[in-house]
Structure 1
Amino acid sequence: MPGPCPEDGDRRPLATVLAVPIVLLTLVSAYFCWTALTIRPSGPWDDGAYAGIVLACVMSVGAAGVAAAVWVLPSARRVLGWGWVVPAVVLGVVAGVRWATGG
């Protein structure tokens, strides 16, 4: 008689372990997205502000991409629904639009 299937066991510890990096990366992405949206260049000559916007956008998109990559893992998709990764992806898209529009 075979033992219980490992997939039938309690999935809460696995969900917790996988949710922590997704939540942290979403918070990092939110911080950099907020930074990118709140930086206001003084004028067309303000290269430092434009560079800051680009850097914040890159960091936000990168953190959102890593969060999505963690969620794409089969073990994560089994225990975490779409709601865990959607905020990170939305933040990445917002930062990408900010980056594409150039401030």
Structure 2
Amino acid sequence: MISAVLCLVLDLVTLYAVASSFLMSPRGPWDDDVLTAIQVSSFAGGLLAVLGGLLRTLPVARRWLSWWWFLPPMVLLLAAIARFGSMDIAYPS
């Protein structure tokens, strides 16, 4: 029970980081502050998603949690990678 609650809280924090990276939009290639904030936010979301996946490894292996508990961090990690990559392609430095 504690591991499920901890996973949900970590998923919410990860969702906030990834969603904030999608909600920010730079005014142009000269807007370095927003571009940096997007990259930091998506990178932090990716790190938190990896941490969330690692946190679930033991409970899923011991069958305390079902396998589908790996889906939220996986989806959030893919979204964070997509946002980080799209900013790198759209606004090369």
TM-score (norm 1): 0.78
CA RMSD after TM alignment: 1.1
Q: Is the 8 A contact 1:22 1:85 kept in 2?
A: no
Unaligned runs of 5+ in 2: none
Residues 4-83 of structure 1: pairs in structure 2 closer than 5 A: 16-73=1-58, 76-77=59-60, 78-83=63-68
Instruction: Deviation per CA, 1:17-58: give whole Å up to 9, x if none.
Output: 111221111001100111010100011100000100011101
Residue correspondences, number: 86
* Partner residue in 2 for 1:11: none
Give me the TM-score of the superposition, normalised by structure 2. Answer: 0.86
Other-structure match for 1:3: none
**C-alpha displacement of 1:89:** 1.5
